[in-house]
Chain A
Amino acid sequence: MAIDMLYFAWVRESVGIGGERVDPPAEVATVAALLDWLADRSEAHARAFADRAKLRAAIDQAFVPLDAPLGRASEVAIFPPVTGG
């Protein structure tokens, strides 16, 4: 199941890219598990995702908690708490 990852603000700078397409194994069932899986694969991801309390997520452009199931997600975005307005 391929997922388009998107990173914003300091998460984007920390990972070093704005996005990537990944294909996690079926047992990766939540956003948090996806972050664990990505962190295992690269130092930059591990650093960017180290402090989970500072991360927020969206699945297919809707905010979700980090323990949310991925379901049939096609796009997952990881970013800091928002600061608009």
Chain B
Amino acid sequence: MIRVVVQPDPIDIAAEFGVLNGLEAGGIATFAGQVRRDDGVEALELEHYPGMTETMLGRLAREAAERWSLSGVTVVHRVGRMVPGEHIVFVAAAAAHRAAALDACAYLIDRLKTDAPFWKREHVGGDARWVAARASDDRAAERWRG
């Protein structure tokens, strides 16, 4: 079961977890990223490349499902405007054993940060600024290659 969604609406974590919970699996690993309250950020805006985003997330989900023999994988990413505390991304992997589920989950969040066309803009004190890409994200994605 592969589920990839890009949506402007808030992420229903319980419902997304429920989709995987019905599958035959030894365990489900999840990661939920949320908009941080630090740096005085009042809102975060996510722009993306419609079409390419879904293609890239689908490719990563299929790669993870194959590499770790997952029974289910979910990637949900929000776009548009959101405020601190709201979930921006949810990834989950259901597998026979915990190591596979945890590794697949880490792989998905590391790879999507560098391989999916999203751009963040922070709103702080009436100003808006584009968030710069981080070298540490490139290194995190790189460790899964080969």
Q: Residues on A close to B: CB < 8 A?
A: 6, 8-10, 58, 61-63, 77, 79-85
Contacts and interface: CB of A to CB of B under 8 A. Distances in A.
B98 interface: no
Contacts of A63: 115
Contacts of B48: 8, 84
A84 B49 contact: no
B51 interface: yes
25 contacts: A6-B49, A8-B49, A58-B52, A58-B117, A61-B49, A61-B52, A62-B52, A63-B115, A77-B52, A77-B117, A79-B117, A80-B132, A81-B132, A81-B133, A82-B115, A83-B113, A83-B131, A83-B132, A83-B133, A83-B134, A84-B113, A84-B117, A84-B120, A85-B89, A85-B137
Contacts, number: 70
A61 B119 contact: no
A66 to B, nearest CB: 16
A10 B47 CA distance: 10
Given A9-B47, A9-B130, A83 B52 contact: no
Nearest to B53: A84
- Name, among B46, B49, B55, B121, the residue most crowded by chain A CB atoms within 10 Å (CB to CB): B49
A83 to B, nearest CB: 5
Contacts of A84: 46, 48, 77, 89, 112-113, 116-120
A62 B114 CA distance: 13
B130 A80 contact: yes
B36 to A, nearest CB: 12
